[in-house]
Amino acid sequence: MTTTPTAVQPVPRGGLARLVGRRVTDWLPALVVLVGTIALWELVIRAFDVQEFLLPKPSAIARTFWNTRSDLWAAGWFTFQEAFWGFVLGSGFAIFVALVLARWRTIGSAFMPYAIAANAIPIIAFAPITNTWFSPLEKSSKISIVAVLCFFPVMVNALRGLTSVNPRALELMESYAAGQVQIFRRVRIPTALPFIFTGLKVATVLAMIGAVVGEYFGGALNALGVQILTRARVSQFQEAWAGILLACLLGIALYLAVAALERLTLRWVPSTSE
């Protein structure tokens, strides 16, 4: 997949292999590191007799994860829904705003400094506030904080993509007497897609963080963040760690889903096939 593009190269096919992007041998080094890390973790805890409240053994976490899987899954699903809908709402609105700002540049230059400044604000600090705006027990309180978290990286990236079009490409569209709608549909949006996906991938990570941390400030009993917090408070560290593990897995799943969508959408980009 790393051959240099030449004139005789066949059009790449979009099979599963291409979707995953790599052969098994490409994955192998990463797999070795993962297994090695877990083994080392287990070994160090056994060898130095590390107390469970500091760090449980991976094997113990895995066992607890498996034994409590149905409860865990219910909590995880609840929190994942918050993360997912917050991500969808925040990202969707971000792309819409970016389109408006790219179309009317004066509005864009008026708002952009604040958008960039807002991007630097630790938005998660507002979580207790959204908990009072909506009921902390309702998903909407977490969805709203997740949406705000996802908004900025997607908006900033999308706007950069929409405005980083080759000026010659725009001149060409002008020479074809294309209108603004056509220029956006056929040039600006396709150019922006790789940027938008970069923003979306950042947002997937923020979404899971936002949902779980939002729940630390108060949430329904069957929410993953609340579960982790209460288990840790009553010294059920294996259960807390099992919850953390699930939060990680759900975050990675959301990220991979977006990455797969990116590969499907951007088949024409040579770099996504490498």
Partner 1 sequence: MSVVQIKDLTKRFGETTALQGIDLEIEPGEFVSLIGPSGCGKSTLLRIIGDLIQPTSGAASVNGKPARRARIDREYGIVFQDAVLYDWRTVSKNIALPLELARWDRRRRAAKVKEMLELVELTGFENHHPWQLSGGMQQRVAIARALSFDPLLLLMDEPFGALDEMTRERLNLELLRIWEASGSTVVFVTHSISEAVFLSTRVVVMSPRPGRISNVISIDLPQPRTATTREEPRFFELVTEVREALHLGHDIERAPA
The correct pick among 16, 47, 177, 234 for binding partner 1 (CB under 8 A) is 177
186 part of the interface to partner 1, by CB under 8 A: yes
182 part of the interface to partner 1, by CB under 8 A: yes
**175 phi and psi, to 5 degrees?**
-65, -25
Residues 151-170 contacting partner 1, CB under 8 A = 166, 168-169
Place of tokens 């790599």: 22
3 part of the interface to partner 1, by CB under 8 A: no
Minimum CB distance to partner 1, residue 189 (Å)? 10
Q: How many residues bind partner 1 (CB under 8 A)?
A: 25
Distance (Å, whole) CA 264 – CA 84: 20
190 part of the interface to partner 1, by CB under 8 A: yes
Looking at residue 3, what DSSP letter applies?
A: P
The correct pick among 145, 149, 162, 187 for binding partner 1 (CB under 8 A) is 187
Q: Pick between residue 95 and residue 173 the one whose CB is nearest to partner 1.
A: 173
Q: Which of 66, 224, 95 is nearest to 153 (CA)?
A: 95
Residues in CB range of 222: below 8 A, 6 or more apart: 74, 75, 78
Q: Which of 140, 121, 119, 127 is nearest to 209 (CA)?
A: 127
Residues 254-273 contacting partner 1, CB under 8 A = 266, 268-270
- The H or E element that residue 273 is part of is none
Q: Pick between residue 161 and residue 219 the one whose CB is nearest to partner 1.
A: 161
Distance (Å, whole) CA 110 – CA 89: 24
30 part of the interface to partner 1, by CB under 8 A: no
- Residues 86 and 143: beta-carbon distance below 8 Å: yes
**Tokens describing residue 88:** 């969808």
Stretch that binds partner 1, among 38-46, 84-92, 108-116, 184-192 (CB under 8 A): 184-192
Give the residues lining the site for partner 1 (CB under 8 A). Answer: 5-7, 9, 11, 166, 168-169, 171-178, 182, 186-187, 190, 193, 266, 268-270
